[in-house]
Structure 1
Amino acid sequence: MPKPDPLVQRFATTFGADFLRFLGRRVRNRADARDVAQEAYVRLLRLDRKELIRDPQPYIYRLAANLVHEFELKRRADDARLTRWTQERDGDELPVESTAEAMTLRARIDDALAELTPNCRAVVILHRRDGMTYDEIAQRLHISSSMVKKYLATGLRHCRSQLRDLI
């Protein structure tokens, strides 16, 4: 078993809870905050010359802020792709090949959504297609906003994995 890195271990022990709160305020949910924190630790572990870091705390926080920015850019790009895929087009304006591709894509999206639980599917559709907020969805489905976030994360992750070859 590899020996733990003293810098990462000291930072995680001393600032770990504060670090997660810092990230939690910048991303949508705790799971995303933990993912970003883990990536920050991994990148810190990959550094060859850690001894050159004078003050590790601001260094790691800056690294994490950059990761949050990268994470948000990727999330927005993924959301934009999923939105583009789910929008229906008027078949009269498209050539036959595009119409066939759109129908195939629509069928694949429908199949991916059909594999979700009813609540999860409803949350994804209400959020992505209808543009409803977490609170509006929670009120409509009689669930908490945190459950809306969990369902949406699960549903989008599933759709991305099912449609990965198109990304």
Structure 2
Amino acid sequence: MIEATSPSEQSLQQLYREHRGWLETWLRRRMGNAWDAADLSQDTFLRVLCNAPPLAELREPRAYLLTVGKRLLSNFYTRRHLEKAYLDALAQMPEACAPSPEQRWLLLETLQALDELLDGLPRAVRRAFLWSQLEGLGYREIAERLQVSERTVKRYMAQAYEHCLLVEL
């Protein structure tokens, strides 16, 4: 029995067939790793499937795929940098204080989720928010570190809270 496919499924299949190899090659050149490139290529098409405008409306499919792929590539390197920083911090800890592998995994997942939540905020806003929430710094201390006024720090914090609330919706 042959199942009929909808026009949107056919468009996605065609988009995938025509551009997957090109996208994977582009990612491989930037990453130097065929396995990661293949994973990011698949993630790109999943994003397209879930978030794209109707595929028939895409005038420049490669440009769209490239934009999505670049964002995923940026997220990939951010996550890798975050993991490295975390593992470096763990290496500095005495063995008796080091978290278990399960705790490490949970902490890494939490850090990645926090990073994704704050994605899109300007660097100074992210730093102010993280210093406040993770290090417990007051607005005056944050203002000194960022070399801005306390009023600016209050604006940064309001912006960060608003961003978090909107992402949660």
What is the TM-score of this pair, normalised by structure 2? 0.52
Secondary structure (helix, strand or coil) at the match of 1:26 reads: helix
Q: How many residue pairs were aligned?
A: 103
Q: 1:48 to 1:59 in 2, by over 3 A?
A: closer
Structure 2 residue 81 is the aligned partner of structure 1 residue 82: no
Counterpart of 2:53 in structure 1 is 49
Shift of 1:7: 2.8
Deviating runs (4+, > 6 A) in structure 1?
none
Secondary structure (helix, strand or coil) at the match of 1:25 reads: helix
| 1: CA distance, partners of 2:58 / 2:12 | 12
CA contact (8 A) 2:23 2:65 kept: no
Structure 1 unaligned residues grouped into runs of 5+: 90-101, 113-160
After alignment, is 43-52 or 18-27 more displaced?
A: 43-52
What is the TM-score of this pair, normalised by structure 1? 0.52
| 1: CA distance, partners of 2:84 / 2:66 | 26
CA contact (8 A) 1:5 1:45 kept: no
| 2: CA distance, partners of 1:27 / 1:70 | 13
| 2: CA distance, partners of 1:7 / 1:60 | 14
Q: 1:32 to 1:47 in 2, by over 3 A?
A: same
Q: 1:24 to 1:48 in 2, by over 3 A?
A: closer
Q: Deviations over 1:37-60 (max 9, x none)?
A: 111101100136324322211111
CA contact (8 A) 1:24 1:33 kept: yes
Counterpart of 2:10 in structure 1 is 6
Structure 2 unaligned residues grouped into runs of 5+: 109-169
Higher relative contact order (CA 8 A, sep 6+): 1
Q: 1:47 to 1:18 in 2, by over 3 A?
A: same
Structure 2 residue 104 is the aligned partner of structure 1 residue 163: yes
| 1: CA distance, partners of 2:50 / 2:32 | 27
Secondary structure (helix, strand or coil) at the match of 1:163 reads: helix
